[in-house]
A and B are shown apart, each in its own frame.
Chain A
């Protein structure tokens, strides 16, 4: 039963991944990508790692794919189709994909995998303790590094989105009365 479900999920993921890169309609390939990601979540559910599965659904399916769809909605029109790449590029991409697959498979087959009989479900409490423990095997350092990275990216997003306005606010005291009025109007608009 589990084997059947696993092979079904694997088939879905492979077919969707190929469809996602070969489709010439942008939004369709996003939807294929979404199905591929949901398939990954399905595999996590299959091995009883519910937390990671839900994270996969929230972050990738619910977050990133929605953002991609958003950007496609903003820039793309129904009748547009992506152009096919040049022959040389296609061959090059195919070759590099094959090399990647080869490296991946050799690593997979050179490693001895042991089959775990009774899988234990990881509870949320264990994950939380693991993230905050600074003993050996604890994840406090990566956790903190990632939070700093996220903070930096948030600040970066704000600076990019409001860059011109931030600069203007800095100059406000030296500027002539005309620009000051404009600036105050701008801030009013914001509010």
Chain B
């Protein structure tokens, strides 16, 4: 097993000089797990705050502004409140599955985080099938939602879960195919190599027309996969209460809630990695300072996440048949044609390289 734990060489070498190999690798794994858990929590809390602020901005309100400077600590307070809340459950629920379901959602989100290249050295698991691994992991997350809906023993939750299953299975296809379109240019699935390819121009520039199509399809289906509006049939408040997590309270509810926002971050950062050059700066202006990559990465991801929030507060919710029509009758054929177009462009060497 050769986990390329390349977070920072110095800490790695220091640890292995300090103690025997087995212990050092154990300590290293624990440290990385702790770091990623922290990142998970911080991203989740920050995004909830950002979502509320953006929503307020779109609706000409002020938004949370009481706790901390301009409401910065609002979500921290919310999280504390959720931790201290009672965990309720239903009498006839399948307790084992009911308690298991949130962890499926959380763990898949965490595993996906590990693959993302935040910067040149800040990547926990640089696997040679990076993108495929991401797609595989995201296909497991839906099991958590299905189990949550069923084991709650609640009709609304079950309907929400069924909708979620249909939606995720259909839109997974589009996510996979639109990423596959870009793989035609890169010729590799490894995320660090995909970033290296983009030193000659970001992929959205290299692949021009089909790349833009692929990006649009990816953003639409990515929004659908995270179950966000306008595709939030899973938890449509006006129809289903809160959908699959109706019966969850306290911290277990928070797990679902955080995982949803972290999934949004993951979708946006995959888009950043594949289309916008991950941690590479525009025109290589900060090439001499590789550690600035984190800021470029987070900056691009923030812009894309703002785009997704913009969707959410602009478009009305789709009906379930409209949702499926959009995927199977429009996005999928368009995607397949797009792949052929991209293959032609790569074959005829029509890509734009700097």
> A: which residues have CB within 8 A of B?
1-2, 5, 25, 27-28, 31, 34, 45-46, 48, 50-51, 54-55, 57-58, 61-63, 65-66, 69-70, 72-73, 78-79, 121, 123-125
Asked whether B133 is an interface residue with its Cβ less than 8 Å from the other chain, the reply is: yes
Please give me the residue from chain A that is nearest to B25 by CB atom: A1
Bits for B1-39, please: 1 = Cβ < 8 Å to A, else 0.
Answer: 110000000000000000000100100000000000000
B interface residues, tally (CB under 8 Å):
37
The chain B residue with its CB closest to the CB of A72 is B150
**B140/A57 in contact, CB under 8 A:** yes
* B96 contacts chain A at the CB level, 8 A cutoff: yes
Are A78 and B136 CB-contacts (below 8 A) given A31-B147, A48-B1, A54-B129?
Answer: no
Also in contact, A28 and B97, with CB within 8 A (given A70-B146, A73-B150): yes
Beta-carbon contact of A78 and B25 below 8 Å: no
Residue contact B139 to A61, C-beta cutoff 8 Å: yes
B-side contacts of A48, CB under 8 Å: 1-2
The verdict on B161 contacting chain A, using a C-beta distance below 8 Å, is: yes
Contact A54 B132 (CB under 8 A): yes
Question: Could you write out 29 A-B pairs with CB less than 8 Å apart?
Answer: A27-B150, A27-B151, A28-B94, A34-B143, A45-B1, A46-B1, A48-B1, A51-B129, A55-B136, A57-B137, A57-B139, A57-B140, A61-B143, A62-B136, A62-B139, A66-B143, A66-B146, A66-B165, A66-B169, A69-B150, A69-B165, A70-B162, A73-B149, A73-B150, A73-B161, A78-B92, A78-B150, A123-B128, A124-B188
Contact across chains for A69 and B92 when beta carbons are under 8 A apart: no
Q: Would B133 and A2 count as touching, CB distance under 8 A?
A: no
> A28 vs B95: C-alpha distance in the bound complex, in angstroms?
11
Complex: A51 Cα to B161 Cα, angstroms: 30
Interchain CB contact (< 8 A) of B94 among A27, A51, A61, A121? A27
Q: Using Cβ atoms and an 8 Å threshold, which residues of chain A touch B149? A: 73
Complex interface: chain A residues within 8 A of B165 (CB): 66, 69-70, 73
Q: Is the CB of A121 within 8 A of B128?
A: yes
B79 contacts the other chain (CB 8 A): no
B93 beta carbon closer than 8 Å to chain A: yes
Q: What is the CB-to-nearest-CB distance from A113 to chain B, in angstroms, rounded to a whole number?
A: 19
- Whether the pair A57, B136 counts as a contact (CB closer than 8 A) is yes
**Chain B nearest Cβ from A186, distance in angstroms:** 16
Contact of B92 with A79 in the complex, beta carbons under 8 Å: yes
Given the known interface contacts A2-B1, A48-B1, A57-B136, the answer about A73 and B146 at a Cβ–Cβ threshold of 8 Å is yes
Nearest Cβ on chain B to A37's Cβ, whole angstroms: 10
- Known A28-B94, A121-B128; contact A58-B135, beta-carbon cutoff 8 A: yes
The minimal Cβ–Cβ distance linking A64 to chain B, given in whole angstroms, is: 11
Distance A69 CA – B188 CA, assembled complex (angstroms): 34
Picked from A1, A27, A51, A73, the residue with its CB within 8 Å of the CB of B22 is A1
Bound together, the chains give a CA A57 to CA B142 distance in angstroms of 13
